[in-house]
Structure 1
């Protein structure tokens, strides 16, 4: 998910959560990336002081009660909230990944296979929401996040109980996103029922496969006139042939002509299987798009290791010994060496080591490790050493070389 730094006016802490960055904002408030005392990431939605009044608090409290009721693996979970504080806030599960709108901006339209996987997953999730007696009412690309484990639905701020006509909105007020709004919602009909979310999901899938919505206009009044006109057919240009029938049925004007969410799942699964892959394989391919669209913040730079000291430069297979690394994370062999990293050799290369040392040699200082030249020079007279009966003594430098050789063999072994 795209984030931006906090501004000087942003709070540093709220409700026990440390606020780290901004995630997004809307007409009613700001959303932050927060962190609990134990390090759990959350999305914290804060109502702007300029819009805090009794009605806003009541609507916000209703949203929280709805979130407490909604559950499921594809719904961002409720964590904590406070409607009575000076700035009411709500914390939900943080989903690390782009919303579908940003995915489209970065990746472009989805393939039929990816769209079918997306449709099956979301339809199944929304069927679960409907079984709890709830509707979303504002499903759109910006309210669907593609996380590491698949898509998740967020922002149930306009959700209502499916069988209830109770609402905090005025009798003639229409709330929602026009681009994905069904005709009955645009007409202000109440109570709304499950087909309103079927239509919105069809609009989302249409956008993700073609780059446009069912109806488009320069002015919102004209857009509404298109949506509520039963003679005005939705624009299905560019829809992949294998999805055309499904999207046409989901975007039908009359509610009773639209499929149920379970029927949407079945048709999407049929498209997936027609590609010769399983549903699980299609889901993995869909979530792999997150790596294309989401770029997490870059880690703090790691200091570069000291330059290598090359020994026997005339030899094409000369090995090198790195100077001790200042940052232990800069050295990453299979078995970490405290001061030196393992040299790199071609496959099946067996190094020849010449160690020039004495028992009195100090631990520090350069160590020569090299392949002898083709025409070796006469070896120097060996140093005279006294070895105790218990076994040979080895200097610190020799022990270091032996450790390095063991690592070299381990890293180049074929097994």
Structure 2
């Protein structure tokens, strides 16, 4: 996962979390790498000031309540939040690994048995979510992180209580990511059922096994048309034979004919056991495989920085801001009774403003990579030396070292 230094305008702390760097961003907010008072690394999500209003706060508060409701080893744990703060924020467990979309783009599709292992893990995790009366509604490769302890599901911002009569979307409003959206969800059918997450998981597993989605087109409108057309079958080209029955069932147009998540787990087990393996072995092999691929990608050029410092204005190609980079439409919304879709938010990649690189030298107090002239007054943003001790866990020291290495490789002087 790529981490870049904080910008001068970024907060240094939110609640009890000290912010150490930027992880990624989207149309609604920014995600920071943070650290708790006890040294626990966290992903801290903040709503952008430009979009903070009563509705965004309500949506954010709903996401917080959802995260308080769910738990499990395959969910990024809830660590803290404040929806009423001037800058509403939400902290969850930091998973040190790439998302599935990034992994497949970098290393290619997963072998069939590992795809089946991934399917069993995620289906079981989603089943626990559904037991709480919730739907994820936006499961996609970018929302599955491949951490050192296995995959974890993130981003329950669109999750909804299946029995709830309260909704933040209009009756005909469609919210989600078209490439992994079930036909009934794309058509605006309500209420939705657990089958929408089964379909999304099928689209995710198809991508993991082949590198493509069930329906792809040049525009979101065309994707919506393909998804909702009962006469257009999902594209299963390149799917390994042993996975075709599973994925064709999960991607069925009719929600009632899709398998349950329990059936998905059983079918994934059958694929694994047909290869002479046990499910536990396949799960361990999946984690080892993704970790090995990641290690290879970082060891090809051992002296290359693993964290990219913002490049000079003359070299924008060397800049990386976010780990999420799908060549597909961003989540979009369709206003009620209108055929026009709201334009997606900012691109997942953006070139930072041309600022001169700054030294990451702890001796001058600029641990956040800010030039001395840009650091805020001590009494307004930062406690004095006598009242505040900087927290440096192993994770924080590793991050700082990566930033120093990256800076040394790109500094113009």
**Which runs of no fewer than 5 residues in structure 2 stay unpaired?**
306-413
SS at match of 2:198: helix
**Which residue in the other structure is 2:50 paired with?**
50
**Which residue in the other structure is 2:182 paired with?**
182
Displacement of 1:14 in angstroms is 1.2
Displacement of 1:218 in angstroms is 0.3
Aligned: 1:152 with 2:145: no
Displacement of 1:205 in angstroms is 0.4
Aligned 8 A contact 1:98 1:290 in 2? no
Which structure carries more relative contact order (alpha carbon 8 Å, separation 6+)? 2
Distance (whole Å) between structure 2 residues aligned to residue 105 and residue 165 of structure 1: 40
Q: Normalising by structure 2, report the TM-score.
A: 0.71
SS at match of 1:142: helix
**Which residue in the other structure is 2:279 paired with?**
279
- 1:29-44 mapped onto 2 (5 Å cutoff): 29-44=29-44
Displacement of 1:165 in angstroms is 3.9
Residues 149-186 of structure 1, C-alpha deviation per residue, up to 9 Å, x if partnerless? 11110000000001224210122211000000000000
**Which residue in the other structure is 1:224 paired with?**
224
Higher radius of gyration, 1 or 2: 1
Aligned 8 A contact 2:59 2:168 in 1? yes
Aligned: 1:293 with 2:294: yes
Aligned: 1:161 with 2:151: no
Distance (whole Å) between structure 2 residues aligned to residue 262 and residue 165 of structure 1: 27
Aligned 8 A contact 2:29 2:46 in 1? yes
Aligned 8 A contact 2:60 2:83 in 1? yes
Distance (whole Å) between structure 2 residues aligned to residue 116 and residue 259 of structure 1: 15
Aligned 8 A contact 1:163 1:193 in 2? no
Displacement of 1:240 in angstroms is 0.2
**Which residue in the other structure is 2:259 paired with?**
259
* Number of aligned residue pairs: 301
**Which residue in the other structure is 2:70 paired with?**
70
The answer to which structure has the higher helix fraction is 2
Residues 220-267 of structure 1, C-alpha deviation per residue, up to 9 Å, x if partnerless? 111101110001111000000000000000000001110000000000
**Which residue in the other structure is 1:102 paired with?**
102
Distance (whole Å) between structure 1 residues aligned to residue 291 and residue 50 of structure 2: 36
Aligned 8 A contact 1:97 1:147 in 2? yes
Distance (whole Å) between structure 2 residues aligned to residue 88 and residue 189 of structure 1: 31
**Which residue in the other structure is 1:10 paired with?**
10
- 1:109-124 mapped onto 2 (5 Å cutoff): 109-124=109-124
SS at match of 1:4: coil
**Which residue in the other structure is 1:208 paired with?**
208
**Which runs of no fewer than 5 residues in structure 1 stay unpaired?**
302-415
Distance (whole Å) between structure 1 residues aligned to residue 275 and residue 22 of structure 2: 40
Aligned: 1:59 with 2:59: yes
Distance (whole Å) between structure 1 residues aligned to residue 34 and residue 196 of structure 2: 33
**Which residue in the other structure is 1:350 paired with?**
none
- 1:192-203 mapped onto 2 (5 Å cutoff): 192-203=192-203
Aligned 8 A contact 2:119 2:268 in 1? yes
SS at match of 2:176: coil
Aligned 8 A contact 1:165 1:190 in 2? no
Distance (whole Å) between structure 1 residues aligned to residue 285 and residue 245 of structure 2: 24
**Which residue in the other structure is 1:409 paired with?**
none
Displacement of 1:195 in angstroms is 0.3
SS at match of 1:158: coil
Displacement of 1:296 in angstroms is 7.9
Residues 350-391 of structure 1, C-alpha deviation per residue, up to 9 Å, x if partnerless? xxxxxxxxxxxxxxxxxxxxxxxxxxxxxxxxxxxxxxxxxx
